[in-house]
């Protein structure tokens, strides 16, 4: 601990004279009391500047006119005492008054605590004062500025110079984007058809003026068979809705408002293929039921293979996702992920939980959120609106979904003992066989079965893609024309 200024005498002020210019004649000494011999006066030495000594208890402190002693912040310095009436004039230094100038009985000067304890107390007091000043200085300055010129009339409120209603947010700011998008984002309440009426809360957004709402499949799955769905807009108006179609594998669903209001404003759709890592993102949703919540972040990564489920044991969904650090929590599912212009670039679908799994558990955001790219979601939504059923591109081969890190291995046999490579299917026509390890799909590295499926589902049936695979330690390539499968199996 620093001992700066502790026990160090304070030097005399250079401005203080070392001796009075012309010492006046000394006053006549008072007669000594009876029985005492007055001491012989020694020659008066020339006064020299000397460090002031600490005052003793019950002794008034002599005031040095121009020297200020270091005084702790919590102990007020004694005020200079006026010269006593009738005292000698011009003495150096003037004798201390016998009683305080204000006429009250003198109080004993409390003894100073030991140096270390006093130092600690001073530091604590300083911290407390600093905290209070830091918390109050901004309000104090604002109050002072507002009250200047008010002729001393005080007020406990400060009014803004411009009302919030007239405050303009520049285009492109988060506030401006959110204000424009919020009327087109809805909170979805889903209830199952069972006696307990279980369900949950999710998010969706207006897809077209006909009243179609795009969201996640896992948001509405509980109400898909005999349940009820309601949609609430940011202005508080609620409408009943029904499921038009849903795709479990893509985790996309489309709803339709039963009595759609006029003047619906669809959110503009962006191009997720042109998104760059580092681009700004804005997520809107109802995390934990808190509707119309806006959070911000960036695109943390692209083409992130994610396999997620709703925790109910249903089919898993696979996506080559956009990763964002915008805060996403349960209830954000199905909501839009916007770019800085307010265009939808993804549908928020999954989060990484601290337990290590992807899904929609009640874990909170740790900055790892995943969204379905809007280009893929748009294709799925259009298909669901047209036919009510999803269509998936396939290669016609069953791959091992457990192995990771070595590619996607074509299994020895398919489900139910069927052939792992569909006869006359896309993979068979390209020459792929059981045991082949697919390591790249259209130049994207493949490290597992889920990654392969995520990449396949970013395409459409009929697309031609290049596949790199290994067989017996040798690398080869093949071109596969993707087939299709209708509906969820």
Active-site pick, 184, 218, 310, 327: 218
443 is catalytic: no
CA nearest neighbour of 336 among 268, 260, 264 = 268
- Neighbour tally for 315: CB within 10 Å: 15
CA nearest neighbour of 394 among 319, 316, 303, 461 = 461
240 is catalytic: no
Q: How far apart are CA 285 and CA 351, in angstroms?
A: 14
Q: Which residues, other chains included, contact 49 with Cβ-Cβ below 8 Å and sequence gap of 6+?
A: 12, 16, 18
436 is catalytic: no
Active-site pick, 317, 320, 333, 365: 333
Count Cβ neighbours within 10 Å for each residue of 177-203 and write b for 16 or more, e otherwise. Answer: bbebbebbbbbbbbbbeeeeeebbbbb
Active-site pick, 192, 251, 327, 454: 251
Decide: helix, strand or coil at residue 299.
Answer: strand
Q: Which residues, other chains included, contact 362 with Cβ-Cβ below 8 Å and sequence gap of 6+?
A: 330
Q: How far apart are CA 283 and CA 348, in angstroms?
A: 8
Q: Are 270 and 344 in contact (CB under 8 A)?
A: yes
Which stretches within 39-114 are classed as H helix?
none
Active site residues: 218, 251, 333
């Amino acid at each position: 601990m620093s001992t700066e200024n502790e026990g160090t005498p304070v030097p005399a002020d250079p401005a203080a004279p070392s001796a009075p210019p012309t010492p006046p004649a000394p006053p006549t000494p008072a007669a000594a009391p009876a029985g005492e011999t007055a001491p012989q006066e020694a020659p008066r030495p020339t006064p020299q500047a000397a460090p002031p000594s600490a005052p003793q208890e019950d002794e008034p402190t002599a005031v040095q006119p121009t020297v200020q002693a270091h005084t702790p912040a919590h102990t007020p310095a004694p005020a200079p005492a006026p010269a006593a009436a009738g005292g000698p004039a011009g003495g150096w230094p003037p004798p201390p008054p016998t009683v305080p100038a204000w006429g009250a009985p003198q109080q004993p000067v409390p003894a100073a605590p030991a140096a270390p304890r006093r130092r600690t107390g001073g530091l604590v007091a300083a911290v407390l004062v600093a905290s209070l000043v830091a918390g109050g200085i901004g309000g104090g300055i604002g109050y002072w500025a507002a009250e200047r010129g008010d002729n001393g009339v005080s007020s406990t409120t400060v009014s803004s110079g411009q009302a919030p209603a007239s405050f303009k947010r520049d285009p492109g700011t988060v506030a401006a984007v959110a204000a424009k998008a919020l009327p087109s984002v809805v909170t979805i309440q889903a209830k199952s058809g069972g006696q307990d009426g279980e369900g949950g809360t999710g998010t969706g957004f207006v897809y077209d003026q006909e009243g179609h709402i795009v969201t996640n499949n896992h948001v509405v799955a509980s109400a898909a068979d005999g349940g009820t769905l309601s949609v609430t807009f940011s202005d508080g108006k609620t409408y009943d809705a029904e499921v038009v179609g849903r795709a479990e594998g893509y985790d996309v669903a489309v709803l339709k408002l039963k009595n759609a209001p006029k003047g619906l404003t669809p959110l503009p759709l962006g191009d997720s293929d042109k998104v760059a890592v580092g681009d700004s993102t804005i997520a809107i949703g109802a995390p934990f039921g808190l509707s119309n919540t806006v959070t911000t972040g960036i695109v943390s990564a692209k083409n992130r293979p994610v396999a997620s489920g709703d925790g109910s044991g249903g089919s898993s969904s696979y996506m080559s996702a956009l990763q964002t650090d915008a805060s996403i929590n349960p209830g954000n599912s199905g909501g839009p992920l916007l770019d800085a212009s307010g265009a939808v670039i993804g549908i928020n679908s999954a989060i990484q939980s601290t337990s290590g799994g992807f899904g929609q558990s009640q874990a909170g955001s740790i900055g790892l959120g995943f969204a379905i790219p809007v280009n893929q979601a748009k294709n799925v939504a259009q298909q669901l609106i047209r036919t009510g059923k999803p269509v998936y591109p396939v290669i016609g081969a069953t791959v091992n979904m457990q192995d990771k890190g070595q590619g996607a291995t074509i299994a020895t046999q398919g489900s139910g003992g069927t052939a792992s490579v569909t006869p006359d299917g896309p993979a068979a026509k390209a020459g792929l066989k059981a045991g082949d390890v697919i390591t790249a799909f259209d130049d994207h590295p493949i490290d597992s079965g889920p990654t392969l499926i995520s990449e396949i589902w970013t395409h459409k049936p009929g697309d031609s893609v290049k596949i790199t695979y290994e067989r017996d330690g040798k690398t080869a390539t093949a071109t596969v024309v993707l087939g299709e499968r209708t509906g969820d199996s």
